[in-house]
Amino acid sequence: MKTRRPIFLLSLIALLAILAAGCSNDSNPATANDGEIGGANAMESLDLNASYGGLSYSDEAEAFGDAALLSDAMMAEDLSLDTADEDSLVDDDPGLDRPEVQRTYVRILWGQLDGTPRDSVRSTLPPEMGLDWTGTVSVTNGAIALSRVIRFERPFDHRLPRTDRQTVGWVSRTGPHFDGILVCIFSKPDSTGRISGELTFRTGPLTQTFSLAELHGLDEVIPVDDLGNAVSFASRVIDPKGDCGEGFLAGYWRSTPDRGDGNGGVFRGLVMNARNHPIGFLMGRYGINDAGERVFAGKYIGRNGHIRGLVEGSWEPSVDQDGMGNFAGHWALRNGDRVGGLRGEYKSRADGGLGFFHGQWAEACAEGI
């Protein structure tokens, strides 16, 4: 049964301009400037009682030296972007390119989100033996374009031919891993400027509908069984003429095995732009500090390991679903200026196995973070 969890809105300061272009916003979050912040702690000795974990504002090895994290980034990079749908829709209806038309990226992932999506694990189960997620996503206002397929095992997993401009279809089965898609929605406002209509995701394990109005800043994970299968929805309304960097987050949220209570552990993952293309990495720790506050802290680095910010925030477990919860925070530059926010949902495992987090980030000038 679907459970809604609260969306955290952060008050952010400082404006940064990074070039963006249409629905393919490829901007990177801001880099460091002068000043003093942080300490001398290495990641291994991060102190949750200190501001930003007491971490030094310094560069790191690529992907923090984590081979698995680097492999995830390379796998995501290898997936080709498909802009043909977007171009075709605009060619057929030039009105979709008007500035008042709302453009929304929606990333949908389905399968065992808290599994280990490594090739060695994926190959243990033939695609035809997995859980069948063949389905569609459709809108009742405007048009929808398929921008990317995520972790599809071709040729078995594949997109279906378009039947109309308001529906995207696919064939997908998952075993101990997940698949997904990234779509771009063009929503036409009515005479009053209001965006109406709905988005509906239809598969055998789950059918879910959202109003187009509630897609801005949506973060939701919906479990579908007791085996770890779930569907993750994350979306952002993108200003095609804007200068604000924004995008998605995804990675692993792992409780410390010797605790067994889910109240402390580590996280690591990818920072991606609005087209789900990896542009950096996150790593840090979460837990409860001496004041009894649920906090997290860590570092955000670019693809080459260059420091882009120190991260801190809070997390909160769900009251009705074991191991699940949400997080919200910000990142700061060397001088302490908060220049962007991040938030999302996580699932941890009490046995110390890999959980996951999914979410989104935006610079301070963007809305909804």
pLDDT tens track for 126-152: 555 689 999 999 999 999 999 888 888
**What span, in angstroms and rounded, lies between the C-alpha atoms of 316 and 327?**
6
pLDDT tens track for 312-344: 999 999 887 778 899 999 999 999 899 999 999
pTM of this structure: 0.80
Mean pLDDT of 69-77: 84
Mean pLDDT of 335-360: 88
pLDDT at 21: 34
Share of the chain above pLDDT 70, in %: 80
pLDDT tens track for 20-71: 333 444 445 544 444 567 777 888 889 999 999 999 999 999 999 999 899 8
pLDDT at 153: 81
Give me the residue spans of the domains in the chain: 24-363
**What span, in angstroms and rounded, lies between the C-alpha atoms of 330 and 131?**
37
